[in-house]
Amino acid sequence: MKRSRVSISAQFMLLVLVILGMNGAAYFLILKNVYQQELKAQAQTVVANVEAFGAWVAQHGRVWVKDNSGNSYLGEMTVTSAAKPDEPIHFYSKNPALAQREFSEAVAQSTSPAKFRMTSHNVMNPVNKPDTFEQTALAIIRTNNQKEYAEFVQGEYRYAQAVFHKAACISCHGDPAKAPADVINRYGKENGFGFKEGDVAGVISVRIPTHSLSANLMSFIGPLEVGLVVLSLVFAFWFIRSQLISPIKKLTVSAQDISTGQDSPINTDGIALNTRNELDQLVLALSRMRNSTYLAIKKMREARAEASETLVKAKAAVAKARADHPTPTDPATKTVAMGKPGGPKKPDKSH
Ligand code: HEC
């Protein structure tokens, strides 16, 4: 079955559409990766800030505040100033984890889109109990010895980074019998103990609301972006038309002319013999083919002319021979009459 193929322009149009579609998909995936990396970087920044804040509290052992609203403190201390001996001042202490929890609560109330908390598989304060994502993160981090874990959960990017126990932490999170009395008083002996140095203490868990990329796609595409895409298509179509299609059309006309024997000049001006352009190579080849075809035709015409001249001479010789020896039934004369070239030169021998 013969294939009836569509034009190169139509094929190219189709190809461009496929390329555009595939490129669009690739750009979308790249955008998605960039967005994910950006979210991760944001979450890591939050974790670093929380750790820096915890380190600042730890550097001072504990922070002492005068306010005990919320009853959130570990130790208590009363100070009397020499100037006002009858006005004692009460101070309340907060250890790093406690201060970090209050920090996280303050951030939760703030306009910051990123929120965080500290949690553990073995929490000292039940308020810090892990949710479903945090349970998964803790399990994966602890079994695989991973440093971090992230997931997209219901319109949020959730990220957890492991926190490890150092020697200083074990005084409160190791053996409850050796833990400070104020810790035992507030949190009891049951939870948040039994850790060793180097254990995963828990995670700093960050949540950042995400935006749907496909829903926001239109906000990324402006007139400049559309203009660039259109311009690139115009360039591509211009190239195909001027460098391929119109030269091919010209060559087709020449080839058709040659095939019907018309003299059709092929312009090879400005084409170097060692050109690397395939179409120019085709032009050169076609031009050579045209020249040799015309040469062949010319030779053929010359041969034909020569042959007919010979034929005329032969006929004349036969006529002359017949006139000299009139033997019409002679088979040799018949053969000569049929036009064998060279025949007329021999009839004398057969007689
Ligand atoms: C002074 C005692 C003390 C020390 C030292 C201490 N912690 Fe804690 N830790 C606590 C208390 C108390 C809480 C509960 C705070 C709250 O109410 O949210 C806590 C909570 C935590 C939590 C949150 C989960 C939970 O158990 O409620 C993590 C994680 C944690 N500590 C890790 C550490 C690490 C790591 C260190 C060492 C760098 C450390 N802690 C040192 C007392 C301590």
Q: What is the pLDDT of residues 75-122, one digit of tens each?
A: 888 999 888 888 898 999 998 989 999 999 999 999 999 999 999 999
| Minimum CA distance residue for ligand 1 atom 41 | 169
| Minimum CA distance residue for ligand 1 atom 16 | 98
Q: State how far Cα 121 lies from the chain centre.
A: 40
Q: Which two tokens stand for residue 319?
A: 């006529």
Identify the CA nearest to 161 among candidates 244, 272, 275, 45.
45
Residue 105 Cα to ligand 1 middle (Å):
16
Residues 6 or more apart whose CB falls under 8 angstroms from that of 179 comprise 171, 172, 173, 189, 193
Euclidean distance between CA atoms 306 and 297, whole angstroms: 14
pTM above 0.85, yes or no: no
Contact 200, 142 (CB under 8 A): yes
> Coil, helix or strand for 78?
strand
Packing angle between helix 96-109 and helix 8-59, nearest 10 degrees? 130
Euclidean distance between CA atoms 147 and 49, whole angstroms: 17
- 105's enclosing H/E stretch is helix 96-109
- Whole-number pLDDT of residue 16: 93
Spans in the chain with pLDDT lower than 50: 333, 335-337, 339-340, 342-347, 349-351
| Minimum CA distance residue for ligand 1 atom 6 | 169
- Whole-number pLDDT of residue 349: 46
- Whole-number pLDDT of residue 330: 54
Residues 6 or more apart whose CB falls under 8 angstroms from that of 169 comprise 195, 197, 201
Determine the residue of 56, 121, 129, 169 to mutate for testing ligand 1's pocket, defined as the one with the most ligand atoms within 8 A of the Cβ atom.
Answer: 169
